[in-house]
Amino acid sequence: MTQAEQALQTESKVVERTDIRNVAIIAHVDHGKTTLVDGLLKQSHIFRENQQVGELIMDSNDQERERGITILAKNTAINYRGIKINIIDTPGHADFGGEVERVLNMADGCILLVDAVEGPMPQTRFVLQKALQLDLQPIVVINKIDRRDARIDQVLEWTQDLFLELATSDSHLDFPVLYAIGREGVAMYHPEDERRDLQPLFDTIIKTIPAPKVDVEAPLQLLVAALDYDDYKGKYAIGRIVRGRITPNSPVARINRDGEVSRQKVNLVMAYKGLQRTEVDEALAGDIVALTGIADANIGETIADVDYPEALPAIAISEPTLKMTFGVNTSPFAGREGKFPTSRQLRSRLYRELETNVSLRVEDGNTPDEFIVSGRGELHLSVLIETMRREGYELQVSRPEVITRLDEQGHVLEPIEHLVIDTKDTYIGVLTETLATRKAQLANMTSDGLGNVRLEYTIPTRGLIGFRNAFLTLTKGNGAMSSMLIEFRPWLGKIGTNRMGALIASETGTAVTYGLNNAQQRGDTFIEPGTAVYEGMIVGLNSRPADMTVNICKEKQKTNVRSSTSDIAVRLTPAILMSLEQSLDFINNDELVEVTPQNIRLRKRYLTQHERARMREQD
C-alpha cells in the first residue's frame, strides 16, 4: 500500500459546514435568473445605500447586455443570517449548455426557475436533467406570476410531470415550490400571500439546500470549473474545494486531463463576497475559491495536495453539433480595418479560446489559412465571431454545417433537435408548411383556448439553420422558439433552399445612387450610397433564383440635354442592413461573410465572374 493510500484510509473527519450553502440558479433563457439574482444581491445589503448598481448586475459582458441573455456562468456570494450563500448564475440558452455543465459541479442544490406563462421549455429539461444527475437538491420557483396570461396551476403541473420523468431518486420529488416576481424582488410560499421581499426564498435556501459534508483534514482536491484573467493578478483558476484546505503561497500539484502531474505554487486564495473577490488566509473544503499563480491551469483539471496528487473525475461536456470554417480575410479590403489580420494571429486567438470555452472545438483546416471551428449552435459561434471582431480581428467565415457521425454499419447520422414554438394559432399553417420543407415532424400541439398555441417538433439541426429569421417574419414577431439537441438519427435527406439569387457587384468602387437605383429594379439592396464595394461582393438579393452581376458604381452620363432637377427625383428604397446572425443565415455554400471591426460584408467565395464560371463547370 502506497503512502498516499495509507493517508486516505486514516480515520475520516467528515464535518458539516453549516455556515455555507452552494446553490446554482438554472432555467430556460428569459425566465428571469439574472433578474432574480439582482434581487438577492440587493436585499442581502452587500451594496452601500447610495451605490448605483443598475439592473442585470451579473450580466457584465457587453454582448450579454446588448443581447439580453447570460452567456458566461458567474459566481457571487451573499450573507444571510450568518450563513454564506454561494450563488452560481448560469446561462439559459441551449448554445451555452457547456457553461452549465461545467459549473453545476460546484453546487449542492439548485433553484429551478420556470416562467408562469411558458412553463418548462427544452432548456429547462436539459439543465434540470444535468442537475439531477449530479444529485443536486432542487427548489422550484415559478416566476413572473404577475403576467396577465399567467397559468400558475398548469405550469406547476407541467413542472411536476417533468420531475417525474427525470428524477433519479425519491428525494428529487420532494421539492419546495415558491412563487416570485423577480423584477419586483418578491417571493411567496403561496401566490395569494402578501408580497414583501425575497425572505421566503432566502429561508428556503437555508432549509432545503444541504450544507456541504466535507473532510477538511484530508489531502487537498479542487476541480477547476472556470477560468478568469486580469492584467494585474494573471489567470484565476476557479473551483470548489472538494476536500482539504488551501492557504496562500502553498505548493500544490496540478493534474491535467492526461493524468500528468506538475508542481505549482498558489499565490493568492480569493473567496467571493458580493461581486468582489477578497483575499483570505485559508479556504476549507466546501468553499468556492479563485486561485492565482497557476498559469497553466485549464478547465477540468485537478489541483491537489503536492504529496498526495489524486485526480478528480473530469467534467464531461456534450459534443458540438455545428461547424464553420474560419479563415484569413482574402477580400481586396483585407488589412484595412483590423489590427489582427494574419493567420498566425487568428490561430493563436482561436486556440486560446479553448481554455475557457469548453464546448468549442478547433482544428486546422485544409490550408494554413483556414480553421474548422465547432460549437453548440449558431448563437454560440456568432458570439465568438462578434467577440473577436470587437477585439480587432479580421476574418471570413463560411455557412454553418452540421457535424455528422457514422454508426456501426457505416450509415450517416445527423443531430436531431426538439423544437418548441409558442405563437398565435393564426400562424400554424405557414409555420407547418415552412417546417415541412425543413424535414420537421410535428410531435405535439396544445392550445390554451385563447388563441395561443404551442407546437413541438423534431427537426434536424440543419433544418434550423436560417429558420429563426424566417420564423420572425412568418409570425410578424408574435412568437418565441427554442430548441435542444436530443439525439443523432439517420440522415433525413436533402433540404432544399428557397433563397433567391444574389446581386453581385461587378467592379470595385463606391456605390452611387444611380447604380443602386438600377439594382433595386432587380431586387433588394443591402448597402447604402457611399459604401465601398469590390468585385464579387454581394450587394443585394435578386428577385429571381439565379445570381446576377450589377454595376452599382455606375454614374449617370452627363449630357447637354437633361433637366437640372432630374436627379433629385431618384428615391431609393432603404437598404436591408443585416446583423451578423442574419448574414450567417443568409449565405449559401459558395458564399462567405467577411467580418472586420468596422464592417460585416457578404461576398462570393470566388470573386471574379470567370472564377465562378470555372468552378460551376468543375461541379
Which residue numbers belong to the known binding site? 30-35, 143-146
pLDDT digits (tens, 9 = 90+) for 490-530: 998 888 767 788 999 999 999 998 889 889 899 999 999 99
Q: How confident is the model at residue 465 (pLDDT cuts 50, 70, 90)?
A: confident
What is the pLDDT at residue 358?
77
In the structure grid, which three cell numbers stand for residue 152, read together?
A: 400558475
- What percentage of the chain's residues is helix, strand, coil (to nearest 5)? 25, 30, 40
pLDDT (mean) for 124-136: 86
* Identity at 245, one-letter amino acid code: R
What is the pLDDT at residue 568?
46
Predicted TM-score (pTM) of the model is 0.80
pLDDT (mean) for 315-342: 88
What is the pLDDT at residue 92?
63
pLDDT at 88 over 80: yes
pLDDT (mean) for 18-29: 87
pLDDT (mean) for 130-155: 89
What is the pLDDT at residue 63?
60
* Residue 426: CB atoms within 10 Å: 12
pLDDT at 60 over 70: no
What is the pLDDT at residue 98?
67
Domains (range + CATH), the chain? 15-211 (3.40.50.300), 214-305 (2.40.30.10), 405-490 (3.30.70.240)
* Identity at 287, one-letter amino acid code: D
pLDDT at 8 over 80: no
pLDDT digits (tens, 9 = 90+) for 184-241: 888 999 988 888 888 999 999 999 999 998 888 899 999 888 888 777 888 888 899 9
Q: Which residue has the cell 447604402?
A: 528
- Count of residues in the chain: 619
The candidate with the shortest Cα–Cα distance to 606, out of 327, 369, 330, is: 330
The C-alpha angle 303, 306, 312, rounded to 5 degrees, equals: 35
pLDDT at 277 over 50: yes
What is the pLDDT at residue 159?
92
The pairing of beta strand 109-115 with beta strand 137-143: parallel
Q: Which residue has the cell 494573471?
A: 234
pLDDT (mean) for 386-406: 91
pLDDT at 83 over 70: yes
Which residue numbers belong to the known binding site for GTP? 30-35, 143-146
What is the pLDDT at residue 561?
52
Torsion angles phi and psi, residue 565, rounded to 5: -110, 10
Q: How confident is the model at residue 110 (pLDDT cuts 50, 70, 90)?
A: very high
N- to C-terminal Cα separation, the chain: 67
The candidate with the shortest Cα–Cα distance to 329, out of 69, 598, 58, 108, is: 598
pLDDT (mean) for 10-35: 80
Higher pLDDT, 123 or 596: 596
pLDDT digits (tens, 9 = 90+) for 144-173: 898 888 889 999 999 999 999 888 888 888
pLDDT at 133 over 50: yes
What is the pLDDT at residue 619?
64
What is the pLDDT at residue 52?
45
Q: What percent of the chain has pLDDT over 70?
A: 89
DSSP secondary structure of 184-225: GTEEESSTTS----SHHHHHHHHHHSPPPEEETTSPPEEEEE
140 beta partners? 112, 177
* Distance in angstroms (rounded) separating the CA atoms of residues 54 and 185: 14
pLDDT (mean) for 396-414: 90
What is the pLDDT at residue 26?
86
Q: Tell how many helices (H) and how many strands (E) occur in the chain.
A: 15, 37
Q: What percent of the chain has pLDDT over 90?
A: 30
Top-confidence range, 73-82, 224-233, 261-270, 550-559: 261-270
pLDDT digits (tens, 9 = 90+) for 558-617: 655 555 445 545 678 888 888 888 898 888 888 999 999 999 999 999 988 888 888 877
Provide the angle, in degrees to the nearest 10, between the axes of the packed helices 152-166 and 122-133: 40
Q: How confident is the model at residue 57 (pLDDT cuts 50, 70, 90)?
A: very low
Lowest mean pLDDT among 71-75, 372-376, 496-500: 71-75
pLDDT (mean) for 44-52: 52
What is the pLDDT at residue 440?
92
Higher pLDDT, 469 or 574: 574
Burial label for 450, CB within 10 Å (0-12, 13-18, 19+), is: exposed
